[in-house]
Amino acid sequence: MSQPESIPFETSLSELETVVRDLESGELPLERAIQLFERGMTLSQQCRTQLEEAETRVETLVKRGQQVKPEAAEL
């Protein structure tokens, strides 16, 4: 399986919104609509993967923060 495209989340999301808008217009030829649908599915999966990775990173940071014990500052 090939590596997913490496594009920023915001770029993927913006393109996905454009794809959805174009598909919802209902004015595309069938073949173009299928191509856009496929692209939309790819973008959706990329966004989902990036969000899951970000969630994992945040959870790790929160857990680390809960384990940190404040030390008394030397004056």
Indicate the pTM of the whole model.
0.75
Average of pLDDT values for 49-67?
A: 90
**Of 49, 20, 48, 25, nearest in space to 36 by CA:** 20
Containing 54, the helix (H) or strand (E) segment is helix 30-67
pLDDT in tens, 4-44: 557 999 999 999 999 999 999 999 999 999 999 999 999 99
Query: Given a cut of 80, is residue 71 above it in pLDDT?
Result: no
**What are the residue boundaries of the structural domains of the chain, listed by start?**
9-64
CATH number at 9-64: 1.10.287.1040
CA dihedral 61, 52, 43, 21 (to 10 degrees): -90
Per-residue confidence band for 53, with pLDDT thresholds at 50, 70 and 90: very high
Q: In the prediction, which pLDDT does 49 show?
A: 96
